[in-house]
Structure 1
Amino acid sequence: MPMHSQTTSSNAPTGTARGAARRAKLPEGFDPLMRFTAVCAATALSRTTIYKLVREGKFPMPLHLGQRGQGFEMAWPESEIRAWIDSRKAERDERARKLLEEAAATDALGV
């Protein structure tokens, strides 16, 4: 007989079942929340940078979900993070457009 036998309840969801439940189809129009780790991954920013940008008014304010230890559990609506990323892309595209216009103007002048 094995030294460590493990009993499981047939009614208890497995890790895979729990994950599937979390990924269940959300109601139409529902804006899911993103936790800090997911926001860091989606934006490629560190926690420190996100805190700094929030303080400067350059990043969406988080929702406080409740107290956890010494701080607060925070999350962001996914739509706000997507909008922030889209605005960064738009800024990049505008800078690129201006650079191309300047380069074309310089070429037209023969400089």
Structure 2
Amino acid sequence: MAQYFQGNFGIDQGEVTPFSDFENNGPMWVGTGTREVRTRIPFEVAFALPPIVHVSVTMWDVAAEAATRLDVGAEEIDQKGFTLRVRTWSDSRIARVRVAWLAFGACRDDEMWEVG
């Protein structure tokens, strides 16, 4: 995970493989219908406000005999992290996926303080 903070602006990034279902015949590989994997991703340092989070697929390993269907998104974004959602449906067979993420937004600095 890499991070960069300048003034009141911060960037954090990383990559994650949320599942590798071909290794254990998991539902994304052998199941049918709607299937979903949700993974909580923590930020290295908390942001001051919920940041903007961008996710993108950097690798996917799929079965050739079925249609390839994949939906990825960032949900439940807060100052400390977000939930990565990876979903497929119908007869798609997803062996594994790697997702890169980038978060950027306002960060805390020594000048910020809270009044109780």
TM category (shorter chain) comes to under 0.3
Answer 1 or 2: higher relative contact order, Cα 8 Å, separation at least 6. Answer: 2
Q: TM-score, structure 2 length as denominator?
A: 0.25
Q: Which has the higher helix share?
A: 1
Higher strand share: 2
Question: What TM-score does the superposition give when structure 1 sets the normalisation length?
Answer: 0.25
Quick check: which has more Rg, 1 or 2?
A: 1
